[in-house]
Amino acid sequence: MAGSRIVRRKRVRKRRRKLLFSIMVVLFLGTIGYTAFQVAAGQDEGAKKGGFGNNEDNEKEANEFEKVQKENGDKQQLEDNKINVLLVGSDQRDDEVDRTDTIMIGQYDKDSGETKLVSIMRDTYVNIPGYGYNKINASYAYGDIPLLTKTIQKNFGIQIDHFAEVNFEGFKHIVNEVSPKGIKINVEKRMKYQDNAGDVNIDLQPGVQHLNGAQLLDYARFRADAQSDFGRVERQQKVITRLKEEMLSLTKIHKLPKAIGMITSYVNTDMTKSEIGGYGTKFITNHDDNIQKLRIPVEGSYWNKRYEGVGAVLAHDEATNRNALQEFLGVKKEEVAKKEENGDAS
């Protein structure tokens, strides 16, 4: 009698384990299916709203970027677990030359999950290969991502592994998808500015408020005050941090797959969709809120200057800023010394 009770209990436990396993399998498959559906939905929605898509110009730019990488002698300067991604915000207006007031380098450590963010001020005076000295954002106007990459590598001696370019319209849609009610930001002052062409019309009141995509873009782009580009760079870094926090919140985490899908449509990049999803998800779900930040030029290393045909620029101590950026991103000093011995330093 006792033996039969033991047998029945074993059967019951076995059935429960099978049931639990079946539930786990269903949940796992359901999660994969939901994620795939949301990513596809995000890609489709992004394409309909004017995303970059896969056109010949984008493919050509990616190919030119690859050529620049192969020419770069600094390729082995970083530890293998770290990747540097050039982040560019582009302002596309009909047939005009693309412009950018957002130039950043994001570094992700695949082992530790550590994230670093560098902002290079657009008026930084640098040596553009083939064109001579000018503002760094002029390299983007002359030769898009490939020339901007080459300029950064030449002047600062760091490798760029990938690039990601988002247009301003795409940025607005991504923000609105992630947070339909807006992203909470403390607008530190009254911000009002309209350009002569009427294309930019910023009008924000001070105080804590929820900004939609268009308003958040205005907040990140504003520079019509005494701080000028210095204040704008701080706000751009603040916006990146807040976007990450918003996407990581429990109330928004279910939107992550669709947001990643939209990003693949709105971002022009050399990375594959799986790389965007992989790096993007790791970056967003990394709970280390202390993103390390740096601005180039660094404090105390720059001065205002004006050159004929160029205008007002940020002249800077080139050696100081080169060393500061290399140290911040963890460039291997032995590789730098080897290049200098070979006469390859710019």
Q: What is the pLDDT of residues 287-346, one digit of tens each?
A: 656 689 999 999 999 999 999 999 999 999 999 999 999 999 988 665 554 554 544 544
Give the tokens for residue 157. Answer: 């001696």
Q: What is the pLDDT of residues 116-157, one digit of tens each?
A: 999 999 999 999 999 999 999 999 999 999 999 999 999 999
pLDDT at 42: 52
Quote the tokens at residue 329.
Answer: 């991103």
Q: What is the pLDDT of residues 83-115, one digit of tens each?
A: 899 999 887 655 555 678 889 999 988 777 788
d(CA 40, CA 34): 10
CA distance linking residue 168 with residue 173, whole number of Å: 9
List residues bridging with 132 in a β-sheet.
128
Band the pLDDT of 39: cuts 50, 70, 90.
very low
Find all residues with CB under 8 Å of 106, minimum gap 6, and list them. Answer: 84, 85, 87, 115, 116, 117, 118, 283
Q: What is the pLDDT of residues 209-252, one digit of tens each?
A: 999 999 999 999 898 888 888 999 999 989 988 888 887 774 55
Instruction: Give the Cα separation of 120 and 136 in Å (integer).
Output: 8
Topology of domain 49-341, CATH: Aminopeptidase (3.40.630)
The crossing angle, in degrees rounded to 10, of helices 168-178 and 228-248 is 40
Total-model pTM: 0.76
SS3 287: coil
